[in-house]
Amino acid sequence: MALEMLRHVSGILYTPQFADFLRTTQRAEQSGHPGELLSLEYVSCVEGAQAGTAWWKLAWISCLAAPSEQQCVIGETGVFIHRQSRRGLKNRLLHYSNGQVVVKS
């Protein structure tokens, strides 16, 4: 089955399912995080014992600590993505399926 892919101007690819996951998460948790923005982090090991391993994390960050040039909108949801995470996610696909976020090359 082919996935519908959308491209953010930063080069990050995502599916509508991932955008829905972000929107749902934000709506469910935002009341406990006033003045904060979702923050998406992605790390991929290039060398060493964990080379080829990657991790992602979704957390909350103060809007004051999130530079506006590193904020973006995915679907309907504002998200902070640090410069290094954007670099790591460029030309990768963010998808949400079966309760899991999947990052595909």
Q: Where are the domains of the chain?
A: 11-27+36-44+54-104
Question: Locate tokens 């679907």: which residue?
Answer: 75
Q: What is the pLDDT of residue 1?
A: 60
Secondary structure E strands in 1-105: 6-7, 13-14, 36-44, 54-62, 71-74, 77-81, 93-97, 100-104
**Among the CATH numbers 1.20.1250.20, 3.40.50.720, 2.70.170.10, 2.60.300.12, which is that of 11-27+36-44+54-104?**
2.60.300.12
Query: Could you read off the pLDDT of 47-86 as tens digits, one per residue?
Result: 777 777 778 899 999 999 999 888 999 999 999 999 889 8
Q: What is the pTM of this model?
A: 0.87
Q: Calculate mean pLDDT across residues 23-35.
A: 96
